[in-house]
Amino acid sequence: MSAAPIDEVDVSLGKLEKILKSDVAAAQQQIEAMKPRIGSFTSEQAARLLIASAISKIFSGDFEEALSFLDKAETKANAPQYLSQIYNYRATCLIGLRRYRDALLVMGRNLALLEKVDDPVEKRDSYFRIANLYDELEAYDEMGLYASRILDLAESEKDTKAYCYGIFLLAMSQNGRGMLKQAQEGFQNGLSYCSEHGYLLMIAMINKGLGDTVRQLGDNRAAQRYFRTALAQYQQFHFATEIVSTSAMLAQVDLALGDEQEAESMAMEVLSDSGSSYTAARRDALKVMAEIVANRDDFAKAYDYQKQYLDLNDKLFDESRVKALAYQAAHFSANEREQELKLLNKERELLLTRGMLREKEHNNMVTFASLLSVAMLMLVAFSYWGWQQKQRFMKLSRQDQLTGIYNRATVQMMGDNQFVQAMRRDAHFSLMLFDLDNFKQINDNFGFGCGDWAICRVVESVQAELSRKHIFARMGGEEFVIIMPDVDAAAAIALAEQIRQVIAAISSNRSGHQFVITASFGVSSRTPVDLSLEPLINRADKALHQAKLSGRNRVCMTPEVVADVPDVEEVLSN
């Protein structure tokens, strides 16, 4: 077979790479048309076609097949720029397959390779993909770092696409860190700029990001508009993963706006796709369906959807912990290797020094002993540092496994810190303990699964009433604590009464059983004589006990709270 003309093949590959950015279906047709001729391609051309094949599979969510193409491409590629692409897309596939530790290792290899890449366009695209991978790992600070690198490239190279990438990634990073107003402004600037320069796929991503941000800000109507626009744009690209993710978000917004028919349509579209990378979208769709069928009084089906939702929620919570462990382990390994290299360099310096000292017999023993002592101290210090790092892994889990809120150990640490700050500022500080009434009867009558449902539903309802300053934790079993920095006694009582009413209003219909959920509350506030958090906890616990003895489903206060709030009855009635 005669070799294909190099110029003609390169032109075809250039067109293919361009089409992949706007029409995946057309690109797949061109890939199939070029595959029979791959035997006549140069190694570089074959690598480019295999990379394009992998990208088309990533768009359709077939990550295993994409990895197969990337493995073949790596055997053909020699240029650093193509190897960098291979590593980036491989990391994307590994995250899609939830192999987070492997993805981080591949990212590390690519970062080392980028030092040899002089092409600013390739660096831009690599930084963009790395930032997106950090987004998947919920490492938003690192994501912001690479957004800044892209913006620096945009400024030095006058690259409009780099600027479009950078402002989008920076807004995503701000969204992930809870800086919603800044994120909204960044997305809107990005939408205007990227639309002006015609970067269609980026426009879809920005519309989705805007939808998520304004939804968190409480504007569901605007979120619906952005999500619908993004969905239509992703459908033009046949971008399966993003289509499913956006549909799940749209279903939640439609339901919040009361459009159950549209919400059900979107949710069922998500649930009809069984892709392994759609766990989060399926969980959200199941939650939507559980509420819809419960509103139709189909409680058996609602319970089934709710059970599937809780199972996937637990799975995602475990995955979140795996991501964190993989991320921390990767950083620990990198730091450990750096320390090992430093130690090897020190040992080399020690050997050279010893060789020189042989020529100076008059002070050989004294100098050698000194250097040996320094080396031993360094070894001891490094071993101690390594031990400290490993101990940190034992403290990674800060959350209650069932509900996702803080656990007892974490709230004790955070509460102590906040209390010390309140003492320094002589600021208000209040604490609320509450305990679900007759909870054992729910477990005994309906099973522990139903009890877990009740606890999760209570946590979900209470969280909606709290602000970012409040610290909410599960103390164990059915007992909870809310720490309220800068909150005086009157506001603490009012919040406790508000939460009591919210819990009492919870309907058990979606659990498939009929029962009532109530809670008893004890409230305490800081006094000038308090030197730690412990007295507040003890007083709140006594007030909680008094609420139980007084008939349950009520708020009781410690004496210092009653003294600070003369019109207690008025506060509770309001």
Annotated catalytic residue within 122, 264, 291, 478: 478
How long is the chain? 574
Could you confirm whether 142 is annotated as catalytic? no
- Residues 6+ positions from 336 with CB-CB distance below 8 Å: 386, 389
- The strand pairing partners of 472, in sequence order, are 482
Task: From 257, 272, 264, select the one nearest 291 (Cα to Cα).
Answer: 264
φ, ψ of residue 45 to 5 degrees: the values are -65, -40
Alpha helix ranges (H) inside 426-554: 439-446, 448-463, 489-504, 534-549
Q: Measured between alpha carbons, how far is residue 35 from residues 50, 52, 112, 311 in Å?
A: 9, 11, 32, 43
SS3 479: strand
Task: From 514, 531, 347, select the one nearest 423 (Cα to Cα).
Answer: 531
The answer to whether 146 touches 134, Cβ cutoff 8 Å, is yes
Task: From 447, 442, 427, select the one nearest 478 (Cα to Cα).
Answer: 442
Helix, strand, coil share of the chain (percent; to 5): 75, 5, 20
- How open is the CA angle 183-184-189, to the nearest 5 degrees? 95
Rounded to an integer, what distance in angstroms lies between the CA atom of residue 277 and that of residue 283? 12
The residue with tokens 């009464």 is 497
Q: Measured between alpha carbons, how far is residue 383 from residues 325, 336, 389, 392 in Å?
A: 21, 10, 10, 15
Which residues are part of the catalytic machinery? 478
